Amino acid sequence: MAFLKYTLLRAALFVVPFVLFLLLGIGGVLSAVYSVVIAFAVSFLFLNRQRNAAATDVSDVFGGRKKVRTSQEEEDAEIEDSLDEARRVDDEYPEVYGDEPGKDGPGRDDADPTRARGPKPPRTGS
């Protein structure tokens, strides 16, 4: 919301002088240039708090500090995390499942039906 407020203030700081300069008979290009300079100067000098709040809002959205996932995305992420954690546990403790780490041997996938099956690596060597 702070970003929208700051953007509207900046737009107003541009539009008001632009219309005023046009009414005074200055050309459109010069009116635009003068209005940009005035809007920049005024916003730089007097809208520091609003600029910082807008920057914080943008940073929150793109920096990941605010929750921007839907409930379905959260549920999918939890399922993916649990599957990843199961695979890591399997790889760390192969003696429990009776095969080597990183290999999908018989019984590993059958023991856990929720486990995702990935493509098997190609055989190399003998």
Check whether 112 has a pLDDT greater than 80.
Answer: no
Q: Which residue has the higher pLDDT, 20 or 118?
A: 20
| pLDDT at res. 95 | 64
The 10s digit of each residue's pLDDT in 13-25 is 999 999 999 999 9
The pTM for the full model equals: 0.48
| pLDDT at res. 33 | 96
Check whether 67 has a pLDDT greater than 70.
Answer: no
Secondary structure (DSSP) of the chain: -HHHHHHHHHHHHHHHHHHHHHHTT--HHHHHHHHHHHHHHHHHHH-HHHHHHHHHHHHHHHHT-S----HHHHHHHHHHHHHHHHHHHHHH-HHHHTS-TT---TTHHHH-TTSPPPPPPPP---
| pLDDT at res. 32 | 96
